[in-house]
Structure 1
Amino acid sequence: MPNVPPHFRSHVEHILDSLLENPDREALVYRNRRVSAGELRALVFRMAWAMQGQGIERGQTVTLLSGNLPEALAARYAANLIGAQVNHLYSELASDVQAAIVRDVETRALVVDPRMTDRAAEITEAVPVKSVLTLGPAGTGEDLLGLAASQSAEPFRSQAQPDAICAIRHTGGTTGHPKGICTTYRQVQAQRAARPVEKDAGSTHRQLVATTIAHAAGMLTDAVLEAGGAVVMLDGFEAGQVLETIERERITHLWLLPPLLYQLLDHPRMEHTDTSSLRQVLYGGCQASPARLADAVRRLGPVLMQGYGQNEAGLISILSPDDHARVERLRSAGKILDGVEVEIRDPAGNALPDGEHGEIVVRSGMVMQGYWKQPQLTAQVLQDGWMHTGDIGFRDGDGYLTVVDRLKDMIVVVGGHVYTTELEDLLNSHPQVRQSAVYGVRNEDRMERVHAAVLLAPGATTSADELRAFVRAERGAMYEPACITFPAELPLTDVGKPDKKELRRRATAHT
């Protein structure tokens, strides 16, 4: 008999297998709904059969326009079972940007949250889509849940191929053409293998998801469901609601971007909330302030863990809870993971020794396939299997990586380079400063000047002149901001990072 290659098992199949092991366990909590593992598994199969009945095939694109819904998660799994690639739109993007993405990824079916049908109508008016499927009754398209209800819950054999695209995630989009990051099923398997394993987590793992499942929270959800845990989903991040949910649901694991962690620490309810159930507070996505991290460790205990990576490059390094006990490590992005190769390179592409600053370049099985339909841009960042991250940093002799800045955020001033994260760390160490964002603004002569937006602590009396003097005394005149503003809050991107493009736009509008 000829050798028959073994069936490739995708990440979705591993998740569905885990759901089958204990079908009565609580898998998803959303508002007043509690969805069992068996119910979720059956819904995924029913949706897969229904999508296939609508003519959706392997290799086509299913685009999700949805908030954090259990049904949106099931739709992603179902589409991946068919072998379709899933693009989940960030709901906060402008409609014209969303429409451009829908057109760009050649959307075969648009799956819509019933709360977003008006936006879906705007998109489909600009870009005709063959199938519009809604996650419940709505005044447009076909009700996917209704279609699924008439289907069998019989298992659907996965059509996924290891080197086919399973996800297209977009980065940017506030200006210019959004970049679609293509991830294959094989790369997701590599990401599964690279995840830190927490001993004896399993069914006691209760993950709170308070950021969009279109981003990192969605990948975390996959990991928790596969491990046998439960995911509590909120529609979005509101610090008071997050604290109330931690206490009520006895949340053990939480994922936040640093600005959201700061909001949690600064909320008046923080001191009166029982957070003793927390075993891990994972953060990442942008630079974190060592001063605020030290405060978080004091108040939450030894539960903080940082993950450094990119959608393009996968996970690169981890700063463990034990590392957080060492103040000198709080500026670090953690220890480079086994199986991940990292080089620090100069502009000419030469590898630099430990301690020297250069671009962080990465090679691993988690690196993306490329940018969707942008071969020239792909060739710029992916060279000989090495991913150029666009981050500046250095590695120490112990294998710890420190990210100093984004290449595009580094400010070139007379006399040298200002690394924005270093200046943010310094400003955040001031006792009257809660948070800051530093960015460069070009003047009429095209020279960059250092600007800082600073959130002050309640009752603060410090002024821009005093903060400039503080910076000058600590780091010298080169780092002294030419302009300091005090907004009521910092603008954030769709995924919760400080929006420096918007800050730069505001600064330019006032000049």
Structure 2
Amino acid sequence: MSGDDQAFGMYVEENLNALARWPEREAVVHGERRISAGELRELIYRMARALLDQGLGSGTTITLLSGNLPETIAVRYAANLIGCTVNHLYNKLSADVQAAIVRDIETTALIVDPRLADRATELLDLAPVSTVLTLGPAGVGKDLLELAAGQSAEPLAALAKPTDIMSIRHTGGTTGHPKGICTTFRQAEAFQRKLEELAEVERQLVCTTLAHVAGHLADRTLGGGGTVVLLEDFDAAEVLATVERERITQLFVLPPLLYQVLDHPDAATTDTSSLRSVVYGGCPASPARLLDALRRFGPVLFQFYGQNEVGGISTLGTADHDPERPELLRSAGKVLPGVEVEIRDPEGRALPTGELGEICVRSDAVMEGYWKQPELTAEVLRGGWLHTGDLGRFDEEGYLYILDRLKDMIIVVGGHVYTTELEEVLNAHPQVLQSAVFGVPDADRMEQVHAVIVLAPEATVDEAELRAMVREERGAMYEPARITFAEALPLTDVGKPDKKLLRRRAEEQAA
């Protein structure tokens, strides 16, 4: 077996081997259901054979329209085992956007969560698919679980090649129409190796969609003989209750969701002592709120910086979440082993330590490219480096700092406003819970700075005080042209602030 084949076998089959080593151990918990490793492994092999009987395998693409179910994990493993490419839709996308994705990636089979049968019917009217399977009785398509029940649970060898496309994962669409990111089995295996930087997991809570980073973390947990506890949707009260009841050791959240947990009334009384790591990432975090989290949970915070296009780039470990060195809380940490990062100027020249430029990455986990977008792929991967679109710099100790997305940077009269810097200033106010800063086109073809702010209950701070604080901390250029107060920030399906929606609302109000 070649080295490539060995790497491929590790990713597809290692988790199944882990399930076989600990067959009696709890693998997945979902509500009242508790599924052992042996039961999950058998279901995967039965599903794989049922999918083969439906004509699926290498060269076919499966789209999942599913929530966080144990069967969602099983069918993804089964599909990849037989060489299918898997796309997992974000459930909160509109039917029109979902249908566009289904058509674009030439979906062979749609696999449906029975609870989403109505959406599936709507989607299929817009984008017909030849094969429709369901994860239980649904009144649409064939019941895959029924088909699988009659199949053998004997082990089945992996049928795909390392260079086959394992997944097409779409961007969240926060800066435009979702792009299909193609990842091979070999690249996925490389990303899994990057996750080895995280602490060992005994019991992981999945409270965000399996279609995003939580799915990768669930894979890692199962491969290590741990237990994945599934929640359908994020709810701060349920997260806290589940951590206490299930003795969760690892929690992954995006920063806005972490803030909701911290601000919930139950946070002060819930027993979270089982937590060994609270992993966060996906968007910038407020240093002030991270200090709150350290006071509440103790020294368990761990930041993971990456992108769908590359997986992991850098980490800020638990030891670096040091209240005595608060400046590090603004950092994305140090570059992962096996990853190269350069800061480059617009002409592609590498910049010295301390200078600001685009973060460019070279790694064996970098995507194959964007589905059916060769020109965009060539642009983003030019010179053999992934151009992330993130603006950052290194300090003298090798810590990476991210200032903004290139597309989020606001161009105003007199210079550039970095949204994360302004959000840091606003979030540092003790009566501000969250903020989102974005630019709106101005009449002079420049941009105006807008801020949407969520205040703490019974807050007394007003707009004038916040403006004065911004002027003092960052100067008049950073002062928002408009401040709006809101009860909550709208979030994307994966839990990031939906600045695209906020920007559109602001433009409509200004029209």
With the length of structure 2 as denominator, give the TM-score of the two structures: 0.97
**Could you say which residue in structure 2 is the equivalent of 1:349?**
348
Q: Which residue of 2 aligns with 1:388?
A: 387
In structure 1, what is the equivalent of residue 284 of structure 2? 287
Report the TM-score when normalising by structure 1: 0.97
Q: Secondary structure at the match of 1:100?
A: helix
Q: Which residue of 2 aligns with 1:243?
A: 240
Match of 2:266? 269
The answer to whether the 8 Å contact 2:172/2:492 transfers is no
Structure 2 SS opposite 1:297: helix
Matched residue of 1:427: which SS?
helix
Aligned CA distance change for structure 1 residues 411 and 175 (closer, same or farther; 3 Å): closer
* Equivalent position to 2:220, from 223, 246, 251: 223
Mapped partners of 2:268, 2:4: distance in 1: 57
Deviates further, 278-287 or 438-447: 438-447
How many residues end up aligned between the 2 structures? 507
- Equivalent residue for 1:147? 147
Q: Distance in 2 between matches of 1:125 and 1:228?
A: 42
Residue 256 of structure 2 corresponds to which residue in structure 1? 259
Deviation, structure 1 residue 427: 0.5
Match of 1:71 in 2: 71
Per the alignment, residue 434 of structure 1 pairs with: 433
| CA deviation string 1:91-131 (max 9, x = no partner) | 00000100000011110100000001111111111111111
Cα separation, partners in 2 of 1:31 and 1:3, compared to 1, 3 Å: closer
Partner of 1:163: 163
Counterpart amino acid of residue 218 in structure 1: G
**Does the residue aligned with 1:322 lie in a helix, a strand or coil?**
helix
Give 1:57 deviation, angstroms.
2.0
Equivalent residues of 2:169, 2:181 under 8 A apart: yes
Change over 3 Å in CA distance of 1:362–1:484 after alignment to 2:
same
Give the letter aligned to residue 133 of structure 1.
Answer: L
Higher mean displacement: 393-402 or 481-490: 393-402
1:58–1:82 contact (8 Å) kept in structure 2: yes
Distance 1:463 1:137, change over 3 A: same
Q: State how far apart, in whole Å, the 1-side matches of 2:371 and 2:2 are.
A: 35
One-letter amino acid of the counterpart of residue 280, structure 1: S
1:233 to 223, 230, 235: 230
The reply on whether 1:54 has 2:54 as its aligned counterpart is: yes
Matches within 5 A, 1:108-123: 108-123=108-123
Q: What do the CA deviations read for 1:449-495 (whole angstroms, capped 9, x no partner)?
A: 00000111111111112111111111110000010000111010110
SS in 2 for 1:472: helix
**Greater mean alpha carbon deviation, residues 214-223 or residues 153-162:** 153-162
Give structure 1 regions of 4+ aligned residues with deviation exceeding 6 angstroms: 2-5
Task: Check if 1:407 corresponds to 2:398.
Answer: no
1:17 aligns with 2:14: no
In the other structure, the counterpart of 2:99 is 99
Per-residue CA deviations over 1:42-73 (Å, capped at 9, x if unaligned) read 00000000000000120210000000000011
The whole-number CA distance in structure 2 between the counterparts of 1:215 and 1:262 is 19
**Contact in 2 for aligned 1:10/1:185 (Cα 8 Å):** no
Change in CA separation of 1:376 and 1:365 when aligned onto 2, cut-off 3 Å: same
Whole-angstrom distance in 1 between the partners of 2:390 and 2:150: 50
Change (3 A) 1:9 1:459: same
Counterparts of 1:129-144 in structure 2, within 5 Å, are 129-144=129-144
Bigger mean CA offset, 176-185 vs 27-36: 176-185
Counterpart code for 1:12: V
Instruction: State the distance in 2 between where 1:439 and 1:298 align.
Output: 30
Alpha-carbon distance in 2 for matches of 1:6, 1:33 = 36
Match of 1:469 in 2: 468
Deviation at 1:338, TM superposition (A): 1.5
Q: Deviation string for 1:206-252 (max 9, x for gaps)?
A: 00000000000000000000011000000010000000000000001
> Which one of the candidate residues 169, 186, 204 is aligned to 1:207?
204
> What is the 5 A alignment of 1:295-310?
295-310=292-307
2:497 is paired with a residue whose SS is: coil
User: Which residue number in structure 2 is paired with residue 487 of structure 1?
Assistant: 486
The amino acid that maps onto 1:499 is: D
* Paired residue type of 1:27: A
Q: Is the 8 A contact 1:433 1:456 kept in 2?
A: yes
> Whole-Å Cα distance in 2 between the matches of residues 501 and 198 of structure 1?
32
Paired with 1:5 and 1:68, the residues of 2 have a C-alpha distance of 32
Residue 6 to residue 281, structure 1, CA distance change in 2 (3 Å): closer
Q: Which runs of 5+ in 2 are unaligned?
A: none
Q: How far 1:299 sits from its partner (Å)?
A: 1.1
Aligned to 1:423: 422
The 1:221–1:324 alpha-carbon spacing in structure 2 relative to 1, beyond 3 Å, is same
Indicate the RMSD between aligned Cα atoms, in angstroms: 1.5
Query: How far is the alpha carbon of 1:12 from its aligned partner?
Result: 2.5
Give the drift of 1:198.
5.5
Structure 1, unaligned runs of 5 or more: none
The aligned amino acid for 1:449 is Q
